[in-house]
Structure 1
Amino acid sequence: MPITRQLILALCECVEQTYNPNLHSDKLLTQLLQSNPHWELDERQYVVVNFYHMVRFRRLIDYLLEHHSFGSESIAKWAACSLIVGQTWPEWFDHSEIDEQSMQSSIARAEADLKLSYPNWLYELCEQQIGEQWPVIAAALNQPAEQYLRVNTLKTTLPEVIALLAKDNIQVVEIALPSHSALKVESNSHLFRSSAFQSGFFEMQDAGSQQIVPFLQVKPGQKVVDACAGAGGKTLHLAALMENRGRLLAMDIHEHKLDTLKQRAKRAGVHVIETRAIQSSKTVKRQKDKFDRVLLDVPCSGLGVLRRNPDTKWHLNLENIDTLIALQTEILQRYSQMCNVGGKLVYATCSILPAENEHQVERFLENNPNWELEESMTLLPGISSEFDGFYAARLVRKN
C-alpha cells in the first residue's frame, strides 16, 4: 500500500486536535474516517494504528521534537512516532539528515525519565498502588489493542461464524475462554460490513471483558439485573448465557445508551431484556431484593483499557479518580440491595488500581457483614493476561 503525503497530513492534522482537553480521540478518529470515505481498507487501518500510536506516545514524541529536527513540521509528529515504534518511512519522506542512531539513543534515555510516556502523577500513582509489576503492565498497555469478537450463541455457533467470515476474507481463530464464544481477528477486514455481523452473529468485545459475565454464574430462567448497562455489551452476553429465558433488567442513568442497547438487542435476536433509566434513588429502591444475580460494571478510570483508549491518560487527574472511587462506593452500597438472599453480585471494573478494585470490596464487606466474598479475578496486561485489564469480585448475600 502506498503511503501518501496527503494521508499523513490528514492524520497529523487530526492528532493535533487531540491536544485539546475538551476533545476525545475516538470521536476525532471517527470524524476523520467518515470524512474520507475514498480511503481504501489498508489506508484506513494504517491511519487508525498510527493515530493511536501518536496519542499513546504523545509525551515522548513531543520530547523528540523539542530536541531533534524531523524536517517538515506538518508531519514531524508522525515521523517521530514512526521512529519510536520502529516503522519504515515511505520513499518520498526525506530523512537523509535524520541521525536515526542518535535519536534511538535519545529515546532509550528519555523513556525512563518520561515514565514510558505516561504523565508523572499517573505513573507514580500506579507504581505506588501496584508495586514492582507496574512497569511491565505499563509497557503492555502501550501496545496496540488486538481485536476480539464474542459469538452470539443465541443465533449461531463458533464454527459457523468462522466459516461465514472466511467467505468475506476475514480470518479469525478461537480463543479458549469459559464462555466458549471468543474469536480473535487475525486479518485486516471490513468486519461490520460482513454478512455475519449484519445477521447479528457476533459483537466486538475484548476477550478480557468477555470473562466478566460468565463470572456471575447466571442460569436460564433467573432474575438478573445489569445495573450499569451502558450500551449493553455485557447485557447481551448475559442474555446469551440465560438462553433468552428469565428476566433481564438493564439499567443506566443515560437513556440514549439504553436506546442503543435496544437496537443492538433487536439485531442480536434478544427478547428477554427490559430497559429502565435510573432517574433517582427511588428507581433502585423499587428493585430491592428482586434479583438472583446483580452485575455492577461500575464507572472507573479505564486504566485497564489504555490499549484501546490511550488518550484516557491525558484526560485523567487525581481529582477524577477520587470522584470515581466515591461513586463506586456509593453504587456498590446502594445497588447491592437489589440482590435477594442467597443471590450473587459481581462488582467489576476495567481498572488496574487496587483503590478501585480490592479496596472497594474490602470496605464494602467490612460495612456489610451479611455479604461474603466467594471469588475474585484480576486480569493484568503483561502479567496475568494478554487481554485488557479487568477486575471482578463475586459476592454472595448470606441474609
Structure 2
Amino acid sequence: MAKKKHYGRKSAVNRNWANIERENPLWESYYRSLQLFPDDQWELFKKACQEPLPLTFRVTGSTSPKLRKEILQLFQQDHLEKLTGVEFEGVKVDPPQLLPWYPSQSAWQIDVPKRVMRKNEMFSATQRFLVLETGAGNISRQEAVSMVPPLLLDVQPCHKVLDMCAAPGSKTAQLIEALHADPATPPTGFVIANDSDTRRSHMLVHQLKRLRSPNYLILNHDAQFFPRIAVEQDVSSKHKCLKFDRVLCDVPCSGDGTLRKNINVWSDWKHQNGLGLHALQWKILNRGIELLEDGGRIVYSTCSLNPIEDEAVVAQALRKWGDSVSLVDCSAELPQLKRCRGISQWPVIGKNQQIKTRGDEGSLESWFPPTAEEARMFHLERCMRILPHQQNTGGFFVAVFEKTASVETAPEVEEKLAAVTIAEPSTTAPAEKKKKALPLDAIDEPFNFVSGDNEDMQKCWSFFGINEQFNRDCCLVRSKLGDPIRVVYTVNPMLKDIIQMNGEKLKKIYAGVKMFVYQRDDIECPWRIHSEAVPCIRNYMNHNRVIEGDKELLRVLIEEPFPTYDFLLKHDVSQKIIDKINTLSTGCAFVHVSRDDEDKESLLIPIWKGVKSINIMIAKQDAHELLYRVFGIETKAKENPNARVSPEDAEKDSTDACDKVEPALS
C-alpha cells in the first residue's frame, strides 16, 4: 500500500491480534458522515472492512509473452481445480477469479487470507507455487488496489519515471515492467525509485533485482526535498534539471484503507492521524509536480479513505498550481474497476472530536473543503475512491494530474520550497527514533564506471563474444578505486549520465544488473556472467560459449552437484553434447535448451565448465522453480536432494571468492 509504516502504528510484537475488536465508534461516525455511498450500503462496507483480505497476484509484465502464458497455464492447470469447491473451517471458499480490470488477463484473486495460505496444508501446493514464481521474478504478490496507480500512469518504454516513496516496491516493479512491456524493443527510459527510510531503501533492492533490469536506480532522499538532478549542460554552461515524464506520489498515510490486513488500525484510528500527515503529503505532491515535465502525468495515491489526506491535498495542489496542472478524468480507464467519485465536502474534526472551522488556532487552511467557486474549478469528482465492498479489495484513493505548463522556480529556493509551503502543526510529541540496522548484504561503496577498453572488460567481451552493439561503457563497480575486482554491474545509458554528473549529491543505494562476477585468475577468462544479466545480454552474445543441450542434461545439472562427464553419459546425456562441452576451455559457459512445445520459451542457463565436471550456476530457488515449471517436479523449501558432495570437493573444481558458487540445490 501507500506506505506500510502507518501514522501512530504501534509494534505488533506481543499484541494478540485475535483479541483486537474490529470496531471503532470514531471511525464509524466519521465515515458515515462523509456519505461516500448510499446509506443502504453502509453495512456491506463495514462488513467488508472487518473481513480478511483475499490474496492477489499478477504475472510479471516484463516477462516474454511465451513465459507469461506458461505461468498462467501452470496456475490454471495445476492449482485452479484444486482451489475450486474447497471448504476451509466449514466455509466454502469461492474459486479463484481473474481481476477483470487488469490488462492481459494476468492478475488473479484467491479468496483466502495470506496467513491461511502460508500455514494450512490444504493450500501448501499453491503457496509453494507462488513462492517459487515470485522468487524467480515471474509473478508478483500484490494487493489488487495497489496495482491501480501504476496502470493509470501509462508508462511507456521511453519515459523517465520517478517513484517518490517507493518501498517496499510492488508499484515500482510495475513501473519497471512497463518499460519492458515490448520484449523486442529494449527500453530507453528508466525508473528512479526513492524512499526516505534508509533500511527500506535497501529492502527495495530485493524486490527489484528479481526483474533483471538495468533500467532503475534506487535513491535514499526525503521525498519532500527530493534534490535537483543535473543532466546535460545547456548553451549557458549551466546544468539542466532533470524533469520526469511520469511521477508516482504514493505517499505515507494513516492507512485506514488497510483495515482488512492491518488489524491494529481499528484500535489506533483517530481523527488527528490524517490531520498530522496532511502537510507532509502536500509537500511531497508539490515537489513531484515541480519535477514533472510539461505534458507529463503524476499520480497521487494513498491507502487512506480520509479526505484530509486525499481530496484536501489534491485541492491544495490545484489551488497552488492553477492552470499549470489539471485533474485527469479517468472514468473511462480500467472500465471494469468499480470505484466512487471524489468528494468536495468533508468535516474537519480535531483531537477532542470538536468540529474545526477556518481560522481556528492551530488549524491549516488547506484542511478545509474548497469554496463553491473552487469546487466548480477543481473537479474533485475526477478523483477515484476504491472501496472494500465494491470488488472485495482494500480501500484506496487515486488522483491523476497532467502538467500543462511550467512555473519557473529560482534554483536557490527550489530546494526549500516544499519545506515552507505549509507550516506543519505538531499534533503529537516527536517519537524517539531508533537506528535501524541495514541488511547484511547492503553495499556501502561509491559508484564508479569502468571503461569498455579496460583490460578485464576486453577479456570478457572477447571470451563471451559480446558484440559492440552492447553498451560497453555502461559498466560500473562499487569500489573506491574504481577497478573491476569483484563484481561489475551494467546500467541504462541515461542512468550512467545521471550517476556521473551528480556524484555524491545523490544518496545512491543500488543500480542496474549484476553482470560479471570474478571467479578465478588461473584460467583464460577469470570472470563469469551472472544469471541476472542473461536477459539483457543474450541478444548481443555469439554461440562460442553456448552448448545446445536438452532437457535431460538440464535435469541432471539441476539435481546433481558437479556431475562428471562419465556421470553424464550414464544418465543418457548424448555423446554429441559431451563432445561440445569438452571443446570449451575452463570457465563460464551456457546451456541452451529448446522446449518440446514451440509456444514455450527456450532456456539459456549459465554453467561453469571445469576440468572434469560442470556445474549449473543459478540460485537455489531458481533451480526449484525450473524443476517445477519444466519437469513438473514439486519440491519443498528445505529439500536438499543433492547434498552428496562435500564443500571441500566442490571447491576443488569451482571457486568464487566473492559470490560463492554452490550446487544449485544445496
TM range (shorter): 0.5 to 0.7
CA spacing shift, 1:22–1:228, aligned 2, 3 Å: closer
Q: In the TM superposition, what is the alpha-carbon distance from 1:280 to its structure 2 partner? A: 7.9
Inter-CA distance 158–247: structure 2 relative to 1 (3 Å threshold): closer
**Partner amino acid, structure 2, of 1:207:** A
> What residue number does 1:373 align with?
327
Asked if 2 retains the 8 angstrom alpha-carbon contact of 1:306 and 1:312, the reply is yes
Amino acid at match of 1:393: A
After superposition, the Cα gap between the structure-2 partners of 1:126 and 1:280, relative to the gap in structure 1 and judged at 3 Å, is closer
Are the structure 2 counterparts of residues 174 and 189 from structure 1 closer, same or farther at C-alpha, using a change threshold of 3 Å? farther
The question of 1:153 aligning with 2:53 is answered: no
Write the letter of the residue equivalent to 2:391: S
- In structure 2, distance between residues paired with 1:289 and 1:358: 28
SS of 1:258's equivalent in the other structure is helix
Instruction: Tell whether 2:148 aligns with 1:211.
Output: yes
Following superposition, the deviation at residue 179 of structure 1 comes to 3.0
TM-superposition CA deviations, 1:275-299 (whole Å, max 9, x none): 1100586533447551000000011
Match of 1:182 among 90, 101, 107: 107
Structure 2 partner of 1:256 = 199
CA–CA separation in structure 1 for the residues paired with 2:314 and 2:222: 26
Corresponding residue number in structure 2 for 1:139: 47
Paired residue secondary structure (2:58): strand
How do 1:15-94 and structure 2 match up within 5 A?
22-24=10-12, 54-55=18-19, 58-59=20-21
C-alpha change, 1:358 and 1:224, in structure 2 (3 Å) is: same
- Map Cα deviations across residues 212-244 of structure 1 (whole Å, 9 max, x no partner): 211111111100001010111100011111117
User: Aligned-pair distance for 1:169?
Assistant: 4.4
Structure 1 residues 189 and 176, CA gap change in structure 2 (3 angstroms):
farther
The one-letter amino acid of 2:53's match is A
Return closer, same or farther for 1:226/1:196 CA change in 2, 3 Å cut-off: same
Give the partner amino acid of 2:392. E
Q: Check whether the contact 1:179–1:211 (CA below 8 A) recurs between aligned residues.
A: no
Structure 1 residue 126: deviation in Å? 1.7
Quick one: which amino acid aligns to residue 309 of structure 1?
N
State the shift of 1:253 in Å: 0.2
Q: Secondary structure at the match of 1:321?
A: helix
- CA distance in 2 between counterparts of 1:199 and 1:230 reads 20
Q: Distance in 1 between matches of 2:35 and 2:307?
A: 7
Shift of residue 210 of structure 1? 1.1
Counterpart CA distance in 2 for 1:390 and 1:197 is 24
Report SS of the residue matched to 2:312: helix
Amino acid at match of 1:352: L
Quote the RMSD (CA, aligned, Å). Answer: 2.6
Per the alignment, residue 306 of structure 2 pairs with 353
How far 1:394 sits from its partner (Å)? Answer: 0.8
Q: In structure 2, what is the equivalent of residue 290 of structure 1? A: 243
Closer, same or farther: CA 362–279 of 1 in aligned 2, 3 Å: closer
Residue by residue over 1:229-286, the C-alpha shift from the partner in whole angstroms, topping out at 9 and shown as x without a partner, is: 0111100011111117211000110122221211121123233110110058653344
Give the CA deviation at 1:28: 6.1
Match of 1:392 in 2: 398
Partner in structure 1 of residue 428 of structure 2: none
- Provide structure 2 residue ranges, at least 5 long, that are not aligned to the other structure: 1-8, 84-95, 112-121, 181-185, 231-240, 330-382, 406-666
Deviations 1:19-60 (A, max 9, x none): xx8432xx669xxxxxxxxxxxxxxxxxxxxx86x35xx33x
Give the corresponding residue for 2:28: 123
After superposing the two structures, state which structure 1 stretch, 171-180 or 118-127, moved more: 171-180
Question: Structure 2 vs 1, CA of residues 280 and 338 (structure 1 numbering), >3 Å: closer, same or farther?
Answer: closer
SS in 2 for 1:224: strand
Name the amino acid aligned to 1:147: L
Give the TM-score normalised by the residue count of structure 1.
0.67
Q: Distance in 2 between matches of 1:192 and 1:271?
A: 30
Return 288-297 or 246-255, whichever deviates more: 288-297
- Distance in 1, matches of 2:175 and 2:140, equals 13
* Contact 1:177–1:211 (8 Å) recurs in 2: no
Q: How far off its partner does 1:151 sit?
A: 1.0
Do the aligned residues in 1 keep the contact of 2:190 with 2:215 (CA within 8 Å)?
yes
Cα distance in 1 for residues equivalent to 2:71 and 2:128: 14
Partner letter of residue 349 of structure 1? T
Amino acid aligned to 2:69: P
Kept after mapping to 1: 8 A contact 2:24/2:269: no
Deviates more, 1:170-179 or 1:225-234: 170-179
CA distance in 2: counterparts of 1:289 and 1:396, whole angstroms: 17
Deviation at 1:336, TM superposition (A): 1.8
Alignment match, 1:164: 74
Match of 1:84 in 2: none
2:258 alignment partner, one of 305, 317, 323: 305
The 8 Å contact of residues 226 and 287 in structure 2, kept in 1 or not, is answered as no
Q: 1:371 offset after TM fit, Å?
A: 0.8
Distance in 1 (CA, whole Å) between partners of 2:45 and 2:242 is 39
> Matched residues in 1 for 2:54 and 2:276: separation?
30
**In the superposition, relative to structure 1, how do residues 333 and 309 fare at CA in structure 2: closer, same or farther (>3 Å)?**
same
Bigger mean CA offset, 122-131 vs 329-338? 122-131
Change (3 A) 1:355 1:283: closer
Q: 1:118 to 1:325 in 2, by over 3 A?
A: farther
1:216, 1:281 → 2: CA distance? Answer: 20
Partners of 1:154 and 1:269 within 8 A in 2: no
Determine if the alignment matches structure 1 residue 271 to structure 2 residue 195: no
Shift of the 28–215 alpha-carbon distance from structure 1 to 2, 3 Å rule, reads: farther
Distance 1:158 1:317 in 2: 44
Deviations 1:352-395 (A, max 9, x none): 2222222221221011111111123221121x432211111110
Provide the secondary structure at the position in 2 that maps to 1:188. helix
Larger radius of gyration: 2
**Aligned AA (1:185):** I
Deviation at 1:202, TM superposition (A): 0.9
In the alignment, residue 206 of structure 1 is paired with which amino acid? E
More helix as a share of residues: 1
Q: Deviations over 1:85-132 (max 9, x none)?
A: xxxxxxxxxxxxxxxxxxxxxxxxxxxxxxxx4222222222223453
CA distance in 2, matches of 1:249, 1:363: 26
SS of equivalent residue, structure 1 residue 284: coil
Q: Is the 8 A contact 2:190 2:216 kept in 1?
A: yes
Q: Deviations over 1:160-214 (max 9, x none)?
A: 2233346764755432224333112367235563332332111111122112211
361-370 vs 156-165, which moves further:
156-165
Please state whether the residue corresponding to 1:268 is helix, strand or coil: coil
